[in-house]
Amino acid sequence: MQLIFSIRFPGNYYFRIGEKMNMKRKEIWAITILLLMPTIVLLAIQHQDEDWDVLIEERIYSDASLEDDFSESSVVIVLNKEASMAFKTYTPEDFGEGLFSRVDDSTRLTMELIKKQLEAERTGDWSGLRLHIENGMLVDVDKFRRVLELTLTPERSKERVLMAIEFLMATRDDILYAGPDYFSSPQTLPFPKPPNYLTDQYVVHNKISLANTNSYNDAWGIETGSTSVVVGVLDTGIAANHPSLSGNIYTGAGHLNRDFTTGTTHGNVSPHGLQDPGGHGTEVAGIIGANADNTGTNGTGAVGVSQDVRLVSLRVFNGNDGNAHSRVRYAVDYATSVAIPILNYSGGGTNNDAAQKTAITNYPGLFVTAAGNGGKNTDINPFYPSSYNLPNIISVGASTLADQRASNSNFGSTSVDLFAPGSIFSTTMTQFASPSGYTQVLYKFLSDATSYSTPFVTGVAALIRAMHLPTGISTSAIKAAILNNVDMVSGLTSVSGGRLNAFNALQSTQGCTYTVTFPTNINVAAGGATAIVTVTPSKATCPFPPITNSNSSWISTIPQKNGNVNIYVNLNYGASRSGTVIVAGKTISVTQASGTACTAQMNYCCANTQVTCSNECNQTAINMGCNSSIPWCWEWFNNCISECEAYCDQEFSSCLGYGYY
């Protein structure tokens, strides 16, 4: 690591010192700071009313090796703040004579936006940035760092890439990071299946409280989407002619779609990512926003989470193979420049690329990405960009319909934000081989992959943004609404500890508060209880029911039409136990008494008292001369046995008790 100690004085004059932070030079660095401190303090006093600050920037050294998967033709660098804000146009000669043949700026469009912001700040005229303001897409100037891609001269190899990285870090102190252009891939595990919404989609939509037949906990009852919300899909492209996507893809005059696999940095090449040879991007797009009006007859076809939305294809993958990280950087830079507020990236890899992290840091919108399909703990084995700890990233793992972690899904208590279903029936235009040749399949069942759990979260983010039109909602507020309102599920190891709940996420942003009348702590008998919680909304327009969550399977909440919420606690056969339930933000602790002693009593009764009683019934029947040919006698015998069995049940119920106290 290397620290650059930078003091910016009025007029953008920088005084900088830096030393590599190894054991040999720590003392020199510390002594230098101490010697300069009086001067720094004096200057601070003299300029206390002026604009100056102290900036410490960390240099990151690449750990790339020949075994890694990266491009042989280029090196990627991140400039420090001083160099980034100088807005200089660089040439190959700026980075060493004869070493590089070309310089491309992965953040050129973002830099132009920053120039406009600074000019608007100077003049007070923000009219030219109206779209960015409305979408919350103004760039944080203090965080902005430029990312440049340096193309090597014709003699190219992985060895030359690594040598160039070492050379740049040794000769330039304005470079925070130099590394290769890594490759990453989609996180997909598809499985074909015939289309049927009711069996293949509804069960998933119901699981995340998107659609619900009883009208409770129904996110679509609050919001179904808006064509004013734009979502970028960084993937293999989108098949624009798919019947379930027509109307929801941003096409026509002034369309925003781009293809960054063509070797250009602008992506403005026909057909602009509106074809999809691999099918993966079309599948992802269908989960986010398949058009409910074009589902076909008899309920067949796909319905997206956001039924109305504008999907923008930002093609970064060739088919289902890998892609260079540079494509993602250019796509994110472009999305910033045209104010696309939500991006879905169902891809990634294991290489830690500071340039890619910088590009996402510069982006002011929400970046929803896959946690990866390695089945690993990414707290220990990171997967990128999912594992970057950035405030605008949501990392999504895959869960099954049984609310278990999909076996192939990555997980992590600090590196994965939440889980969402990884199985869904969605759109595709993939060609499948058949005896008669190749058949075009419009729909496909997709199984337990983080590529498909990610767009569920993206779709909910689009619903939240639609619900807050035209006033808008911040990226941080959308992320908080999604992560803070999951269904808590044991075994889904993540930051939130749970699985996506669309209804809870939407409802939480409506500005409604609820007064909950109920004790904070309740003790429940081993026999269980039904506790009635009175919930009063702050205004008549607030939706009901309020958000409820339980961290234990033996505690459930059922909303009632009269405005109350019932808490059900199941019977307990074993040791005492504790859990919590949250009703409209109020946490209620539940402690249930042990049923162990009662269970033992029940077992003893069944093994002894009940047997004795049954024997008495048998003996009496014999004495009476009963047999199956005498109806009244046989009826009496059956009643006698039933009473013997009921006795133990009554004793057991009496022992367990019922209710709370």
pLDDT profile of the chain (661 residues), mean per 10: 46 43 49 60 55 66 88 92 95 89 93 94 89 90 94 87 92 93 64 43 73 66 88 90 83 78 79 82 89 54 85 84 79 94 92 92 96 92 94 94 90 94 70 49 69 93 90 88 90 93 83 80 88 79 67 80 78 89 85 88 82 84 76 81 84 83 71
- How many other C-beta atoms are found inside a 10 Å radius of the C-beta of residue 253? 4
- Single-letter code of the amino acid located at 507: Q
Whole-Å CA distances, 251 to 109, 236, 254, 277 = 22, 17, 8, 19
Q: What is the pLDDT of residue 17?
A: 45
- Domain tally, the chain: 4
Residue 134 placed within a domain:
no
Q: Tell me if 535 is assigned to some domain.
A: yes
In a domain? residue 288: yes
| Residue in 265, 331, 344, 255 with CA at minimum distance from that of residue 305 | 344
Joined tokens for residue 626: 């009963």
Q: Is 33 helix (H, G, I), strand (E, B) or coil?
A: helix
Are 247 and 334 part of one and the same domain?
Answer: yes
Does any domain span residue 122? no
Residue 625 falls inside a structural domain? yes
What integer pLDDT is reported at residue 320 of this predicted model? 53
Distance CA 313, CA 258 (A): 6
Q: Which domain holds residue 205?
A: 187-507
Query: What distance, in Å, lies between the first and last C-alpha atoms of the chain?
Result: 59
Strands (E), 153-291: 175-186, 225-235, 258-259
Mark whether 450 and 521 lie in a shared domain: no
Last residue of a domain, one of 558, 575, 592: 592
Q: What is the DSSP letter of 94?
A: G
Contact 576, 549 (CB under 8 A): no
Q: Are residues 583 and 633 in the same domain?
A: no
Omega of the bond leading into 271 within 30 degrees of 0 (cis): yes
Residue 189: the pLDDT is: 40
Say whether both 340 and 457 belong to one domain: yes
In the DSSP assignment, the letter for residue 249 is: B
Backbone φ, ψ for residue 513 (5° rounding): -120, 155
Same domain (yes/no): 377, 249: yes
Q: 592, 616, 644: which is the final residue of a domain?
A: 592
The amino acid occupying position 39 is T
Are residues 434 and 459 located together in one domain of the fold?
A: yes
Q: Do 566 and 637 share a domain, yes or no?
A: no
Same domain for 445 and 330, yes or no, is yes
* Sequence-ordered list of residues with C-beta below 8 angstroms from that of 439, at least 6 positions apart, any chain: 431, 432, 433
Residues 6+ positions from 41 with CB-CB distance below 8 Å: none
pLDDT in the model for residue 199 = 54
* Residue 148 counted as domain residue: no
Same domain, 258 and 232: yes
pLDDT number for residue 16: 47
Residue 173 included in any domain: no
Q: Do 251 and 297 fall into the same domain?
A: yes
Share in percent of the chain as helix, strand, coil (round to 5): 30, 25, 40
Residue type, 248: N
**Do 636 and 501 belong to one domain?**
no
Does the residue 169 lie in any domain?
Answer: no
Can you give the CATH number for the domain in which 332 is found? 3.40.50.200
- The four Cα atoms 478, 483, 485, 488 give a dihedral, to 10 degrees, of 170
Q: Are residues 529 and 643 in the same domain?
A: no
The token pair at 613 is: 């009683």
Q: Who's near 480: CB < 8 A, 6+ residues apart?
A: none
Please, what is the angle between helix 475-483 and helix 450-467, to 10°?
120
Q: Is 53 exposed, middle or buried (0-12, 13-18, 19+ CB in 10 A)?
A: exposed
Q: Which of 13, 37, 61 is where one domain is finished?
A: 61
